[in-house]
Structure 1
Amino acid sequence: MVQPHSTDAERAPLRWWRAPRLWWRQWWDRLPPHRQDRLAVLGPVLSVLLFLTAIFSALGYFSQQEADREQEAVVRDTEYAQQRLRLRLLERQEKLMRMARDIANRSIEETEFVFQAEELVAQNPDVLAVHWIGPYREVVTGYTAPGAPAHAHRRAGETLPPNTTGGAFDLARDLHQPIYSRPLPWPDGGSTLMVLIPFEDQRRFGGAVMAEYDIAGLLRYGVPAEVLARYAVTLVGEDGTLYAGTPLKPLTTPLSRLPWAPRPQRHELPVSPIGNSLLIRAEGLRADRDWGSEALFWIVGAMSVATIWMLLGNMRHTRRRLQAQRALVAETNFRRAMENSMLTGMRALDMEGRITYVNRAFCDMTGWSEEELIGASAPFPYWPEHEHDTLMARLQDEIAGRNTPGGFEVPVKRKNGSIFYARMYVSPLIDAQGRQTGWMTSMTDITEPKRIREELSASYDRFATVLDSLDEAISVAPLHSHELLFANRMYRNWFGEGSAGHERMLELCASVPVLPPQDHHDQVDSLMGLPADALVEAVAEHAQILVPELGKWLEVRTRYLTWVDGRLVQMLIATDITARHQAEEQAALQAERAETASRLITMGEMASSVAHELNQPLTAISNYASGMISRLQKGHISPQDLLGALEKTARQAQRAGQIIQRIRAFVKKSEPNPTLSDVAQMVSNATELADIELRRHMVRLNTYVAARLPRLMVDPILIEQVLINLLKNGGESIQQAQRPPGQRHIELQVVPRTVDGRPGVEFTVRDSGGGIPQERLDRIYEAFYSTKSEGMGIGLKLCRSIIESHHGRLVARNLYNGDAIVGCEFSFWIPEPPPEASAPLAPRSTETQTTPEGT
């Protein structure tokens, strides 16, 4: 097929594109070879210059952008840290202001102030001390942290020098508002900050609550950890004085002087509410650029471009060499970074004991540089002078291969002269051919673990000393085991070293719950599924036991604990209560004697009334007997009349016998015997005896007993004694008040009543006497105190003791008609027994009334 010919219009663009190319080739061909070589070299140079110009421009631009972003981040984080410090200071200030208000309101004493100050210091490590300062700078009381410097400890009564607070005390006194002092330097290094909260005493300056802050502690605990991790944060004064923190050191490398070199970003703000006297400053922890890697990258890039331009034939070889070089650099950097990131110090020795290698961690620990250590031989510069002989012997054992698998502990001297303790582990150093070329030693700083171990040991010694000084015997043992985990000195004095005493006390404590024993052949824990937390948190059980081997009464308290190894153990605390037990027995005996004596005294006081009451049936018996004898002698009596007279004589004799039986039962000495007693029967027995005395005083007794009252678990004789005493006192009060016949009455009311959710029975005795003077109302229950001239002062005290022994309460109050006292009311309440001890309800009773004329 014949191709069509192209036109001149179609060939015009092709000629325009080929024309410059042809012209360039012709010009290049006309040049001599040396000019061509120069131009060939000039081309790569220009390319490299242009490439470097672009790289530096981009580097400067992006460095400026990154610096702006870092500056914004520094400002933002500095403001955040300043707000956190402000909130922390305001929170502590609020607590101190509450303490100052309590002092001003006199609602806090020195002991409570010390307790609150100790709690505040314990919760805030940056608070060194809290003191109560008087209006004349005298220290009233306070608390100082145990780890505070010596100058922060102040004794009560000590007067603060005027320059102690830097004028803050005077400002607080004059302005009557919280004042922060300027940062004050410590005599032994460091600085402190004081805040004074003034308070008033009767509208006058009464002193101030002074708290002392450790400025370094404010930085450590007040600034967020994430801010401290990203920046070098310091607290400085307005004049630039450094109070806390470590500032960044300026870069001194040659590259740091370049315009685009990274500059640490910084920002500072005043710490509110302290003011401009304390500033928080943050400097960015920006790492230096790896200028060597970047320069290497630029050189390699430029060489690659130039090589591609000039040596296209060697491109593959150059590429392989570049890849190998990069891999080698990456491997070297990786190994170096791994060595430098280790916290364990590494040291290598040759076979003669010379140092051949140390890593960065080893240099950081000792403070000596790599140049100072490599090549050094014993004695090494980090050896303490007084330990040269010991460490030399240790080095000889190390070179000879006599090493301890668990390592060994050695003291190490830093370059600044300070000493720390480290643990070293030694292993052989084998080269690629399998030959030993030296020894590799790893070193770990154990100063802090050793300090903690020593503090734990000292804490245990203090704990054991305190427990050994107690008067109680304390023992801890696992459940159902003969192992004794802990025993103090009192336990060992009483029971010896073994667990026999612990088991003996558990055997005697019948009320203490014991968990079931574990079957040793069963692989399942017997306590599996039980709420062990509830056992550990349960309130301790109490029991009182007699140990015949010791001849002592012991009060044993027990509870379950989770031991340090996770086992559930039982702790027993035994207290010698022999003296208290004997005193309680003696007190019970004295109380029983006092109750019997009180009943005898009551019957003694009622002797004339009882004699008069007995005289009536005895007189009637005598009259009936005389009449029957006279009529029998005359023969004027029939059998029916004789039978009627004998029946009347028998009734009078029975009445006299009942009176004597009631009196004998009332005054009979017996042990307290709580039984389920009928309330109506107790009231009837008491009123039968008390009414004899009341009729002698011409006093009317009105008794009301509610229907269907429950039986009470009481000693009926003691309750009757209380009722008789209260009724008798009411009659005597009416007699002393000389009330007219229409107003000589006493009301006894017995009704059910619920107190604090517990049902019970309330007994109320109201009289119309002269009452009790208001100033004596609070003393009527005191022993040997009486409002009557002939009273002994033991009646009401015994009544109250009897009611409280029955878990009840006795209350007295005056009855008023306007401002005049028209009588007195005594009421006591006794709770109802539990349902399992209840008896059938008492039969329905009716209201009865007795008069002086008869019953």
Structure 2
Amino acid sequence: MPLSSPADSPDTLNPRARLRRWWKGQTAHRQDRLAMLAPLAAVLLFLAAILSAFAYLRFEEIAREREAIHRDVEYSQQRVRLRLLEQQEQLMRFAREMAGREVSEDSFLSRAEAFSNQFPEIQSMTWMDDGFRERGSFDASGVLARSSKQSAQIRRRVEETVQNYLLVRDVLLPVYSTPRKQDNGPTLVQLHLPLIDKTRFKGDLIVTYSVDAIFRYGVPSEVTSKYAIAFLDADSKVLAGTSLVEKTLTRSILPWANPVNAYQLPVSPIGNGLSLRGQAYRTSLGVIGSGLFWLVMVLSAVTAWLLLANWRHTRRRIQAQEALIRETAFRRAMENSMLTGMRALDMHGRITYVNTAFCQMTGWSEAELVNQTAPFPYWPESDHEALRARLREELAGLIQPSGIQFRVKRKNGEIFEAHLYVSPLIDAFGQQTGWMTSMTDITEPTRVREQLAASHERFTAVLEALDASISVAPLGSHELLFANKLYRLWFGTEAQGHLQLVAEAGVPALNHSDEAQDMVDAFAGLPTSQLSDKEAESAEVYLGSLGRWLEVRTRYLSWVDGRLAQMVIATDITARRMAEEQAEIQAERAQASSRLITMGEMASSVAHELNQPLTAINNYCNGMLSRIKGNQITQNELLGALEKTGRQAHRAGQIIQRIRSFVRRSEPNRSIANVSTLVSEAVELAEIELRRRNVKLNQYVAPNLPNILVDPILIEQVLLNLLKNAAESIDTAQKPTAQRLVKLRVATTWVDDKSVVEFKVSDSGQGIAPEVMARLYEAFYSTKPEGMGIGLSLCRSIVESHLGRMKAENLYNGEAVVGCCFTFWIPNPDPLSAPPAKRSEQPGFQVPS
């Protein structure tokens, strides 16, 4: 191997030689890419240089213009400031004269007219005393008279005047108001000058300026001729002067192409958001308006586009070559990696091609199989005649698309089962040149199929032994695909029982047509567009023919032949239904018992409640008898006494009837009930217990409450129980009379995006202990010595049976428990109803006295 000389080392080569050596070391593909990118880079650098030159010249012009407008705007602002300060000094001298009572009202008007003639920007002058009363007013231009027709503007102006008046009274310094733009009038600004007599506030001199006049007489004409000068408020709205609007399209393309130079300063001493802005008029076209700029841009873009198009064409050609090489290698690798054996025959039955999988499957090499004719080496000797007949059918194209199954002999003599599929071999010109066959070893699938058959037998034995009826039938047919032993015992071997169960369960039928078979699922072949949203449906039905209650569950499945079928599972639940009915009867008895217990506890109070009308009736009757015997009663007095006696008797009857309707045992009867009526009837019973325990009830029932679908007696029982418990809690806590209060609030609200009617009962008792809160709704658990422990448990059961919820919580004042609150809600049957909106009060305006 020759040694390289020291002159050829990289350290001794000059830059040109190093570049040449680096270029030769690159691949042809990389050299093509670099050769195309170099001209493109040169064009881009040229374009960047031109753009940089244009930008530099443009920025320099804008900078000179910016310096000029800054200088002129500052000069204009100084002129306006000096003019306003001069006027303010003269007005302050006039205000001192007014404070010293050296000016009368007539003299004020004449002096104000003189000021207006001297300073045209003064529109009006108003003299307000220390009581906010107008002593005199001068309006030079009639602007106040014109604006008086607009009540909204008068209100805003008066509000601001009052605020500035109060501010001047507090600080005793001149105050300027915020400039206000009127809809149909000039923009005004007020100067408030305090009238001070020996540090005492004697009133306010209000001078109204026109912003347009300040602009007209304050800004020099030589400045307005060169720039767009305007007065702006705090929101950058134009109050006076002119303003330029930039071209949005040009600014969106190139923000620096043709900008508008502007400078803004606050107007002193007014302040309060009033500022002076100057904008330079654009006289030049800018960078993007130059023809040379666009010519350079177009030529550069065309050159770059041509270079990119040439580079793209070369790249696509190289990519096509690489794709062809990859495709050839991929196809060859795919053929060699396939597990299915591929074999090609010509039209005469000669083997022209075999893949690697076919050789591995048979044990013969490709050289030993190609160009062979029948009998082939992998044919078992005992099957030669049958396989020759199959070969003739294959060459004649008589083999079914499902293929054929035959035995294959490996080179070592081992025999295995194989499945062969045959298809025509078509060349690139559409001509058939032979037959392509694919062969699969099915020895293992055959063994698996036998195992599946045995597993199916075991599965069928399990289904036969189940204590539930199972049946499967296709949709739209009376054929019974499967039925276990219990089904056959109940309904026989016909599909009538299956259809009866489906009909009784109320499962919607699916339309099963031939067109639906085209819309198939990729997994199971089910017409998914017609399946129910639920994967399985269940229902409880009673079959009179069997005298049993059955729980019927249905679901759709794809049968072994691909048809959509329906499976029905029916379980005997007669014993469970009987237990549920007994539980319902016990619950009804418990509800009635709870009402009887409640009325038993309230017996003394009820007796006292009835004693009042009965005593009144007795007194009326005795009085009438005494006066009749003494002939001391007239007919009108007798009729009045009889009417009062009748009312008391009617009241006693209502109390007895209300108690009877509450305690009598009846079947649950849900109906549309009025909430206000329901609450009033419950409160009528509860007030007897509340008065006995000296507890005051504060109730609020929202107006326009919707009607609810409930059993009124049960909901009244819940309300009565909660109110009675609240009174007992307050009585147990021994609260003073002022704190013995129970609050009942009924209103609509929203829970989980659903409209509900909420009942809330809160008391001022001793609350609920944490250990009691955990077992609050537990049956037969009570903290009362004489309690049975079914009240709150029964209340929650009643609320939940009406699809509602119930909760309890303590009320806190800091860390101290000051009571307890029980809340339950009933769903609103009208889902579109919403709680009534609160009315907003319109704020009024009031001038301070």
Normalized against structure 2, the TM-score is what?
Answer: 0.49
**TM-score, normalised via structure 1 length:** 0.48
